[in-house]
Structure 1
Amino acid sequence: MKAPLENYHARMQRVLDHIDQHLDDDLGLDVLSGVAAFSKYHFHRQFASTFGVSVHRYVQLARLKHASHRLASKDAPSVTDVAMDAGYDAPDAFARAFRQRLGQSPSSFRKSPDWAPWLAAFGPLNNARSKLMQITYTHDDVTIRDVPPTPVAIIEHRGDRATLGDTIERFIAWRKAAGLSPETSPTFNVFRSERTPAIPADYSMDLCVGTDLPIAPDDAQMKPGVIPGGRCAVLRVFHDTHNLEPAALFLYRDWLPASGEDARDFPIYCQRHFSLFPGAQVHDVVVELFLPLK
């Protein structure tokens, strides 16, 4: 059974690669089912069952992601040119789709991209690609680092993860109002529960932005705090940065028992980097996962 499954996945991978390489071309069912060598009458269901998203939505997201890259580049073309290249017949149709997915108009995004909702918008695209991408970690991927304490402003999410989007929106609005850009003020998530606890209401996470600005006493959302300093095991995650559970499981299940280290009494947390690594672009987000050690 393994060989047929690998062959099936390879054919689906061909489709994803073809989409990436031909975003300006015809990406209809006839073309993509031919790339996969599947019947066009079943391909759309096969694609959706494999990737958890329809082929139409996947193509739309891939084109919008490519369009957003072009808009954010230093030599960005006109919105009309980007719209046409993205497969839209008119700029206003492109603008509606862009705003619906990213919460900004194309012209506003070109002037000042808001990368946090950008990441959320393309989560389904990243999740789809990760279905065929089995990421494995090794002990060599983990480093031990002494990190300094970092003052932060915190908004706490407590309750069903399905409502996390609302908390993220409030967090984004607060940091915007405070003038704390993700590119200059570090972003942290402190994971105080499992990603999928047995009781959904037990889900718990802190969203933090690095700042020593005072928090107003009457601020009902944010509170001051500190990411404590000390020794940490650090694992960089480049793929599927919306789901850090596999990386966390590796640290707890594989790395920690073999390392001879003991975990410190502070939850595992992550820092999202937007443009801090050589060769990375702002949209090429890298996450560092920190397991505090004694």
Structure 2
Amino acid sequence: MKLRKVITLTAISAMLISPVSAFAENPASTLKDTIKATEQEIKKDTKEAKEDIKEAKKDLKEEAKEAKKDLKEEAKEAKKDLKEEAKEAKKDLKEEAKEAKKDAKETVKVTVNGKELELENPAIIKANRTFIPVRKLVESSGAKIEWNAKDRAFTITKGEKVMTLTIGSTDMVVNGKAQKLEAAPFIADNFSYLPLRVICEEILGYKVEWKAETKEVILTSQESKKEEVKEKIEEKTEELKEDAKELKDKVAEKTGDAKEKIEEKVNENKAK
């Protein structure tokens, strides 16, 4: 863009007010010539200024056009991105709803030593594994459970055994030895869910049985198992005692019958 020429009022006034000075310097000049020259200069400057304004207006129009084009492209891209994000969010929500629906259908019952365990939140099946809000089960078994909010980890202690599990991780530590879980612990409905079988068999000392037809997990403690075995042995002993008594009675009966027959035979022989 051309630099605009600026004619100040002071310069024009000086030329108009001092015709005598101009005449003194150049005798051929007259006031009329001076005014004419000034008018021509003003016209020239005005024309150039108009050209500059026209050029600037053209440039601004082009810049506005480009800016409008850029904004249109940006708006188009933003709309496209938002559409993709909305699509992904909808897909994620659909998957979560599907998973939640599946989990709801697969709610399971947990029985401990013949009694149903009343949990704070239902046990569920996820990734073909049974998960439960573990605190109540752990504490009811006599074990201790601690939560580390910073590491998002649980530490379960029972006797000399110590187990550490972390939310969202398949890494597990039992008595200082690293092990791998088949499914990671997670949080749902503000409850922490841990894999049932691993906890029961590794540290709590429960035997785990699964009834697929009723979706029931049966937990039996070692102490309960011993009592059960003891009861079965006692029952079997009583049965054997009863059988032995019956056998003894039968033997006695048979022996009595045989004795009577022998005596009858002896008496018959004597009579002859």
Provide TM-score, normalisation by structure 2: 0.19
More relative contact order in 1 or in 2 (CA 8 Å, sep 6+)?
Answer: 1
Provide TM-score, normalisation by structure 1: 0.18
Q: Which has the larger radius of gyration?
A: 2
Higher strand share: 2
